[in-house]
Structure 1
Amino acid sequence: MNPVQNILSSLASGTVEIVDLTAPLSAETPTLVLPDPFSNLIDFSLEEVSAYNEPGPFWKHHNIHTGEHIGTHIDAPVHWISGREGKDVSQIEPARLVGPAVVLDFSTEAGADPDFLIDIPHLVAWQEEHGSFPANAWLLFRTGWDQYGHSQEAFLNLDGNGSHTPGFTAECSKWIAEELEISGIGVETVGIDAGNAVALDPPFPMHHFLLGADKYGITSLKNLAKLPTHGSMVVVAPMPIVGGTGAPTRVLALVQKNDS
């Protein structure tokens, strides 16, 4: 069999299973809230056009109203000022959207400190234990934050001092962007930066460095606990919006089934 037939055969036999890493998208999906004077995107909503009635007797359909960066979504380079001359979401090459998935588990650290920041030594230590990150990989960072996806309040974890969600140091963001031959990163939080990343230098460093280096970020992932540390494949499928700075995205992982 050729390689594609091998994959199809493995899916048919159940030795490879598909894990959906995408958060369902609805009007209740937690979304980013920027403070004044910044403007926020609209939340997701459906507008009924017909429902087997006079406007459409044999069908039901809706208009969709949503911001680009709502729910599980991808950030394209043009989303950030550092990538303003880069690709929009429709221009991301398909080969960059399918690749090895590497899961790095920082759920214990984030559980102890919601402001936990991943730093370069954490990733160096991971590679010393597990090996180098493969080319074209997607680094998926598990923090356990998907457990809060049912609640806007818990997901954003806001108080008078800002939003308290885990992320990355500025140094680590720069290192990932400039030193690793990966396609992008994925997180379980509402954005690819920490909740209080505005206070870092530069502000929102993962956005600044990653998107400026023609790499991509996906947010609001779930089910990372169902993936092995390495050995699975991820498929990132955004809407190819021409001129889009991002798009709602279906993210799937192909995982060898463990019968033990």
Structure 2
Amino acid sequence: MSILSGFAAALASGGIEVVDLTAPLSAETPVIALPPDFAQTARFELEELSRYDDRGPAWYWNNIRTGEHTGTHFDAPNHWVTGRDGDDVASVPASRLIAPAVVLDLSAEAAADPDFLLEVEHVRAWEAQHGPLPAGGWLLYRTGWDARSASQEDFLNADATGAHTPGVSPECARWLAEEAPVIGLGVETVGTDAGAAHSFDPPFPCHAALMGSGKYGLTQLQNLALLPPTGVVLVAAPLPIVSGSGSPSRVLALVERG
């Protein structure tokens, strides 16, 4: 049996499980809120064109309006000023959209402290137990934040001092971008940076470091709790928007079940 035939057979038999990591996309999907001085992203909208009626008797279809960075989405290098000369989302090589992934579960720490930050020492401790990060793969950072995704207020978790969501320290962001072998970082929060990252030095270190190094981000993932720490293959499928800085994406994890 060929490799692809064996793979197809494993999918059909359930030997390989497909876990959907994608948040449902609707008008209720949380979106990031920037300070009022800046332009705001659009919430997802459907505009009905016809639904088996006099506008189109045999078909149902809609127009959609959405921001590139709404819902579960892919950040391309040109999303940030540090990567302004890098790939747009349509230029990301297709071979990079299927890659190995590992899961770092720090949900207990994030539950105790919504401003919890991933540090290099956390990644090193995980590597000591599970082995090195996958070359050309993804680091998926589980915080349990997907449990809040039904509510814009709970998901952004903002008060008078700003948003309080877990993220990555500036030092760890630089290390992931410049030294770690991964191609990108996936998170459950609204963006790869912590809610308080506007006040970090440098500000928004994940965006600045990852995009500036030609790496990628995946945000608003769900169901990371269903994945093992290692042995995951990730399929991240953004729309190939020419000159786009990102795209809502269907993100799937393939997991071997014994």
- TM-score per shorter chain, which class? over 0.9
* Distance of 1:17 and 1:108 partners within structure 2: 26
Alignment of 1:73 onto 2:69: no
Identity of paired residues, percent?
Answer: 56
Alignment-derived partner of residue 89 in structure 1: 89
- Asked if the contact 1:97–1:183 (Cα under 8 Å) also holds between the matched residues in 2, the reply is no
Alignment of 1:213 onto 2:207: no
Alignment-derived partner of residue 18 in structure 2: 18
1:125 CA displacement: 1.2
- Asked if the contact 1:99–1:234 (Cα under 8 Å) also holds between the matched residues in 2, the reply is yes
What per-residue deviation string (whole Å, max 9, x for no partner) do you get for residues 60-113 of structure 1? Answer: 111101010000000000000000000000000111111111000000100000
* Distance of 1:182 and 1:3 partners within structure 2: 25
* TM-score (structure 1 length as normaliser): 0.98
Equivalent position amino acid for 2:24 in 1: P
Where does structure 2 lack aligned partners over 5 or more consecutive residues?
A: none
Equivalent position amino acid for 2:232 in 1: S
1:130 CA displacement: 1.1
Alignment-derived partner of residue 188 in structure 2: 188
Alignment-derived partner of residue 61 in structure 1: 61
Alignment-derived partner of residue 43 in structure 1: 43
Alignment-derived partner of residue 140 in structure 2: 140
1:54 CA displacement: 1.5
* Distance of 1:109 and 1:23 partners within structure 2: 23
Map 1:1-260 to 2 at 5 A: 1-258=1-258
How many matched pairs?
Answer: 258
Aligned to 1:237, what secondary structure does the other structure show? strand
RMSD: 0.8
Aligned to 1:242, what secondary structure does the other structure show? coil
Aligned to 2:174, what secondary structure does the other structure show? helix
* Distance of 1:245 and 1:153 partners within structure 2: 26
Equivalent position amino acid for 1:101 in 2: A
1:32 CA displacement: 0.3
What per-residue deviation string (whole Å, max 9, x for no partner) do you get for residues 37-66 of structure 1? Answer: 111111000001111111111111111010
* TM-score (structure 2 length as normaliser): 0.98
- Asked if the contact 1:115–1:194 (Cα under 8 Å) also holds between the matched residues in 2, the reply is yes
1:131 CA displacement: 0.8
Aligned to 1:243, what secondary structure does the other structure show? coil
Once superposed, which parts of structure 1, at least 4 consecutive aligned residues long, lie more than 6 Å away?
Answer: none
1:36 CA displacement: 2.0
Equivalent position amino acid for 1:230 in 2: T
